[in-house]
Structure 1
Amino acid sequence: MLLSFRSTVSAFAPVLVLALSGLISASAFAQAEKSPDFTKGQALAGVCAGCHGVDGVSPVPTQPNLAGMSWQYVAKQLRHFKSGQRDNAIMKGFATALSDADMKALGVYFASMKGRPIGTKDEKLAKTAEKLYRAGDATRGIPACAGCHSPSGAGIPALYPRIGGQHAEYTVAQLTSFRAGIRGGATKEDSNPTGKMMMTIAGKLTEPEIKALSEYTAGLKAN
């Protein structure tokens, strides 16, 4: 009987793990919904929906999906828009009126949303970037994208953003900006080490590689 019980438990262990992880995720979401930051962020986010979607998934491919992004990353980008460290006239207009508390609240709200992969439009092109994303290119000093953004593209909260399921067009624009030195600069208030790192890495990528990587990450399922 004991062996039979153990065998049964072993057989269903993966199912139990998935069920528990689902309960934990649901519990975390429920807690987020009850938090003051979530409520405040929800109230502030109405104006964001036009570009970033009511569910945090942008209907405009040149605008980023924010669903599932860590609150720290969202807040940091809003600070950069407000200070001018990241150049975007439209976003600066919105961010200027926000306090640090507002930025955190918006981040918490978008972080609570479940993102979904946009999907690649060119499977053949995306496939050519898989090795570069997962292993990098040591001969050119290019580290694996997966090292910071994770194999699934989920990123590392508070450090590196979620890029899995992001619009390829948006990712191309950002990598191109890093490559040109338009994005990633530092200020006295923020040395922006991750931005500097991205400028260095993107500077070693070719245009075809940027397009291929962007197609590849668009198809990653970060959840």
Structure 2
Amino acid sequence: MPKHIVRLVMLLLAFVIVAYTAKQYFTAGSFYQFGHYRGLSVAEIASDKPKFKTPKYCEQCHASEYAEWAKGVHNNVELGKVVKCEVCHGPAGSRDVKGRFDNVTTGKDHPSGLKMTIPVDTARLCTLCHEQMPGRPAQQRQIVVAEHARTQQCTVCHNPHSPRTFKVAAASAAKGDAVAGKAIAAGCAGCHGEAGIGDSAPGLAGQKADYLVISLKAYKTGARANELMSSIAKDLSDNDIANVAAYFSAAKCKSAGNGDKKAAAAGLAVAAKCATCHGAQGVSTQPSWPNLAGLSGEYLLGSFKSYKAGERKNGMMDGIAQGLSDTDAANVAAYFANAACR
């Protein structure tokens, strides 16, 4: 065999030996234990945990949110329910190994650019703990998602930092003078009836004062559209609005009773879906949400149709109205029209 061939074979053989030795030396022992990677890397990455800084750290910049959380059900040690800030908003600090796997959302030390992680799909997040299922602790509030709010986000109604506190528009803190409001209310009688007891238009007698204030201010600013009501509301001062709301809320109500009796019976099951906001019998426990009991069936049905058509907007009602058939809407309107208003 020619000498140059022998030298070439020896060189190739030496290269193979060096390559094999290098592979054995540099390849981790756990390589390909589970797949084409180091088996031990799984445990290493899992142990590289993000740093949590506790709610006290968050209080420095988010005092109001911390106060809501601290007094709410999510910070109840007695019930064993402590949902800390970083459970929803993500860890405030970087991971244990600096320079690797840093928390890119909040930065190594929150805040990064004054931004924080804010959950977008709260319906998916909240139902991890609150969707009804067997074996879940009874003291933990549970809901049937399809019946409770359908596709609506939890934050439409609930304060995310204190979920038992409903997130509603704030009415005027000043309480009105019912006596002063009586004179203003006289101008409402043409549509809403004497002392707020109307037929086709909604009865105002016995309605929540805060809700009436919110509604009139919405007409005044244009947030709620009705040509007649908008023109009336624009002429009212904030004191006038508070006074007329006080008058109607103190007035004795009378149920319209103009709903079909058979339809009302069928509407009972549908009305159960309204109980969370408007009360079990249509009398709301929330001052900023209206009573439905005793309102005109025509008015209620018209309202449902307006929400369904998008002519009237409300984060929660939009979704509920879309889920009601015309028959269901007529039945539930008849149910509330025949219900006792007090």
- What TM-score, normalized by structure 1, do the two folds share? 0.72
Equivalent position amino acid for 1:127 in 2? A
- Residue 187 (structure 1) aligns with: none
1:87 matched residue in structure 2: 225
**Cα pair 2:282 2:336 within 8 Å, conserved:** yes
Question: Gaps (5+ residues) in structure 2?
Answer: 1-174
Does 1:98 pair with 2:236? Answer: yes
For structure 1, the residue ranges without an aligned partner over 5 or more in a row are 1-34, 135-143, 185-194
What is the number of equivalent residue pairs in this alignment?
A: 168
> What amino acid maps onto 1:106 in structure 2?
V
**C-alpha distance in structure 1 between counterparts of 2:287 and 2:259, whole Å:** 30
Q: 1:91 to 1:56 in 2, by over 3 A?
A: same
Contact 2:259–2:333 at 8 Å: present in 1 too?
no
Asked whether the 8 Å contact 1:73–1:157 carries over to 2, the reply is no
Aligned match of 1:111:
249
Partner residue in 2 for 1:172 = 301
Give distance in 1, aligned partners of 2:255 and 2:247.
19
- The structure whose RCO (Cα within 8 Å, separation 6+) is larger is 1
2:215 pairs with 1:46: no
Deviations 1:10-54 (A, max 9, x none): xxxxxxxxxxxxxxxxxxxxxxxxx96112211211111111111
Shift of 1:156: 2.4
2:209 counterpart residue number:
71
Please name the residue that 1:213 is paired with: 332
CA distance in 1, matches of 2:203, 2:288: 18
Q: Which has the higher strand share?
A: 2
Indicate the RMSD between aligned Cα atoms, in angstroms. 1.5
Over alpha carbons, which structure has the higher Rg?
Answer: 2
Q: Name the % identity.
A: 32
Which one of the candidate residues 198, 201, 223 is aligned to 2:317? 198
Q: Distance in 2 between matches of 1:119 and 1:125?
A: 12
AA aligned to 2:241 is: M
2-structure distance, mates of 1:121, 1:130:
13
Are the equivalent residues in 2 in contact too, given 1:56–1:110 (CA < 8 A)? yes
Q: Which moved more, 1:203-212 or 1:36-45?
A: 36-45
Q: Contact between 1:55 and 1:113, CA under 8 Å: does it hold in 2?
A: yes
Going by fraction, where is helix more abundant, 1 or 2?
1
Report how far residue 120 of structure 1 moved: 4.1
Residue in 2 that maps onto 1:16: none
Aligned partner letter, 2:263: L
Deviation per CA, 1:143-185: give whole Å up to 9, x if none. x11221112211124232011000000001111111111112x
